[in-house]
Amino acid sequence: MKKNLFKILAALITVLLLVSCGSPSTSSGKELVVYSPNSDGEIEGLLNYWADKNDVTVKLQNLGSGEAYKRLDGEKNNPQADVMFGGLNLGWYNQYPDIFEEYVAEGNDKLPEMYQNPNGYITSYLLSGSNLLVNTDLAAELNLEITGYADLLDPALKGKIATADPSASSSAYAQLTNILLAMGGYESDEAWDYVSKLIVQLDGKFTSGSSGVYNGVKDGEYVVGLTYEDPSVELLASGATNVEVVYPEEGAVWLPAASGLVKGAPNSEVAKEFLDWLISDEAQTIIGGMTVRPVNPDVELTNEFMKPFNEIKVLEEDMEYTLGQKDKILERWTKTLVESQ
């Protein structure tokens, strides 16, 4: 009996050895080291989808934009990352021009001119827009209908408007430049007069970050918040019934989010494949079903909670100005803030 058992075990071991030696490896050996400030939805829906499909092992560092750039800058003499996935624009590039390598993704010339690679280093792949988020229960209690920026000056909303500080939050800065453009122009006294009145309405309250705005509205701490589309629509998609996404009737801006190839990337060819894919029809179609928008205007939005552009007043941001003059704009913001309190 023992001899028979030994023979059976020996045969099983032999079979396992033959299988392990004779079968080809399922791993391609490809790796991609990614630094990214992106949400879980973009990481899972885009990066992980592409990696699984192409048998690429991803090593992800999910960092805030500022932290990611400081790390990339500190590593520029010995690069560890291959790609910055999201969190890139002309402003960041101009601040850290030595950490990226020139690469124009395949298909770039098929995109609208405003979303094409502007300098050889920036691959735009999706759009993120500014909007208002309204707690419909609280607005109904106040008998308010909020359709745009002008409505935020209603005395009933004093102290009940959520926003982060534009000097500390990129989404709040995007809202500030959107407001200026919509209310008269970036340097318009009329627009800055509106900003001054809005500051009075804030009653000295600022959230500690962008998430405090949309969560504060959802949780009933505020009636309305100055926020952005991705988390706002995500609330609707996740079943929230007490909030409404409002695109200001004065106009809303959509800004491209971009990725870039790290200079000296250890896996540069794999990184280029990923950048090519981000603006491919497949990736853009996936984005069309998310809570952000594709840069390819021919791709249909399939998320039922996303309002089509033809139902929104869309404004075109002067990105060269708002990024190049950011310090000047924030200096005037700080001055207006002090004078209005």
DSSP string, 57-121: EEEEEE--HHHHHHHHHHTTTS---SEEEEEE-HHHHHHSTTSB-----TTGGGS-GGGS-SSSS
Q: Which residue has the tokens 């396992």?
A: 16
Cβ atoms 147, 313 nearer than 8 A: no
Do 186 and 158 share a domain, yes or no? yes
Closest CA to 59 of 233, 236, 238, 265: 265
Q: Are 111 and 182 in a shared domain?
A: no
Give yes or no: residues 299 and 320 share one domain.
Answer: no
336 with 324: CB under 8 angstroms? Answer: no
pLDDT the model gives residue 265 = 98
Whether residues 195 and 140 fall in one domain:
yes
Provide the residue range defining the domain that includes 214: 128-253+315-340
One digit per residue, the tens of pLDDT, for the chain of length 341 reads 434 434 433 443 443 333 344 433 345 689 999 999 888 888 999 999 999 999 999 999 998 788 899 999 999 999 999 999 998 988 889 889 999 999 999 999 999 998 999 999 999 999 999 999 999 999 999 999 999 999 999 999 999 999 999 988 888 999 999 999 999 999 999 999 999 999 999 999 999 888 899 999 999 999 999 999 999 999 999 999 999 999 999 999 999 999 999 999 999 999 999 999 999 999 999 999 999 999 999 999 999 999 999 999 999 999 889 988 999 999 999 999 999 97
In a domain? residue 43:
yes
Q: What is the largest CA-CA distance in the chain?
A: 97
What whole-number distance in Å separates Cα of residue 341 and Cα of residue 323?
A: 27
Predicted pLDDT of residue 27: 55
| Whole-number Å distance between alpha carbons of 334 and 312 | 31
- Does some domain include residue 40? yes
Q: Residue 83: how many CB atoms within 10 A of its CB?
A: 28
| CATH number (domain holding residue 264) | 3.40.190.10
pTM score, two decimals?
Answer: 0.82
**Alpha-carbon gap, residue 330 to 307, rounded angstroms:** 31
Tell whether 15 is covered by a domain: no
Is residue 18 a part of any domain in this protein?
A: no
Specify whether 46 is located in the same domain as 188.
Answer: no
**332 in a structural domain:** yes
Instruction: Give the Cα separation of 51 and 46 in Å (integer).
Output: 9
Per the CB < 8 A criterion, the answer to whether 194 and 331 are in contact is no
Same domain, 245 and 263: no
**Same domain, yes or no, for 240 and 263?**
no
Residues 241, 194 share a domain:
yes
Q: What is the pLDDT of residue 151?
A: 99
Distance of CA 96 to the CA centre of its chain: 19
> Is 118 a domain residue?
yes
Distance CA 285, CA 98 (A): 33
Tell me: do 235 and 265 sit in the same domain.
no
13 inside domain:
no
Token couple for 189:
């006294």
Q: Are residues 213 and 270 in the same domain?
A: no
Are 142 and 241 in a shared domain? Answer: yes
What's the total number of domains in the chain? 2
> In this structure, is residue 20 part of a structural domain?
no
- Nearest Cα to 203, choosing from 162, 254, 264, 144? 162
Query: Is the domain of 155 the same as that of 288?
Result: no
The pairing of beta strand 123-135 with beta strand 224-228 = antiparallel
